[in-house]
Homo-oligomer: A and B are copies of this chain.
Amino acid sequence: MNKAIVLVSGGMDSLVTAAIAKRECEKIYFLHLNYGQKTAKKELDVFQKIKEFYQPADTLVVEVSYLKQIGGSSLTDENIPVKDYNGSEEVPDSYVPFRNAHLITIATSWAEVIGADKIYIGAMEEDSSGYPDCRDSFYKSFEKTIDLGTKEETKIEIITPIIHKTKADIIQIGKELGVPFELSWSCYRNNDIACGKCESCVLRINAFKETGIKDPIPYEIEIDWEE
């Protein structure tokens, strides 16, 4: 039995990754993290809707308070505001130190208990914000580390199906797979409606524009989709 854990934040990338896992695996399990990010409530809300859509065999929602305690990111630290996108090449303030390692580590513990052999994560290396924990080499190395740190009989593969894709690519893939983009939430700001100006919104909007598809979610600012 082919069992896969999928990391589902509720953003566009994890949503398309969930659709890919659904197509490739017999049984899928959704893992969602509340790590004290400012948009935690919104993300949990969209996670529940995505879960209803894809009907995984089981879900695990975990509360991780320590990333907020540790701070150091505009996504978790109330003293660091979420900036508007400025196109800088540097690792942005929104980087949560080593966050994706926590996702993989929690998924690994769960996988070892339920006997899952795959972990899907929707990280993107090139077309993202330059976060170091989104690199392909990082996941390859992590897979080896898992093999060394778990039981002999535990074999876990980390699957990063969109790691070398662009955001425009995954919108295309998502469209082919019938992904409900209207359910996803990407904005870094804790608003009812996506701000359209933070780095996550800007990358998403630009990708939709590139594919010539109108993003089905509403934005606080007016966007010219014909541009």
Which A residues are within 8 Å of any B CB, using their own CB? 60, 62-67, 69-72, 91, 95-102, 105-106, 108-110, 112-113, 132-133, 135, 137-138, 141-142, 144-146, 148-152
Contacts and interface: CB of A to CB of B under 8 A. Distances in A.
B113 A105 contact: no
15 contacts: A62-B69, A64-B64, A66-B109, A70-B113, A96-B109, A97-B112, A100-B149, A101-B108, A101-B145, A101-B146, A102-B102, A132-B149, A141-B148, A141-B149, A144-B145
Q: At the interface, is chain A mostly helix, strand, loop or mixed?
A: helix
Taken together, the copies of this chain in the complex come to 2
A65 to B, nearest CB: 6
Given A66-B64, A148-B138, A97 B108 contact: yes
A65 B97 CA distance: 20
Contacts of A146: 98, 101
Nearest to A142: B145
Contacts of A145: 101, 138, 141-142, 144-145
Contact of A113 (B97, B112, B141, B150): B97
B98 A105 contact: yes
A109 B150 contact: no
A142 B98 CA distance: 13
B101 A105 contact: yes
Contact of A62 (B65, B72, B91, B106): B65
A66 B72 contact: no
A67 B109 contact: yes
Contact of A70 (B71, B109, B141, B149): B109
A110 B138 CA distance: 19
A70 B60 CA distance: 9
Given A70-B113, A138-B149, 7 more contacts: A64-B66, A66-B106, A101-B145, A102-B102, A102-B105, A102-B106, A105-B105
Contact of A98 (B96, B138, B150): B150
Most buried by B among A100, A102, A135: A102
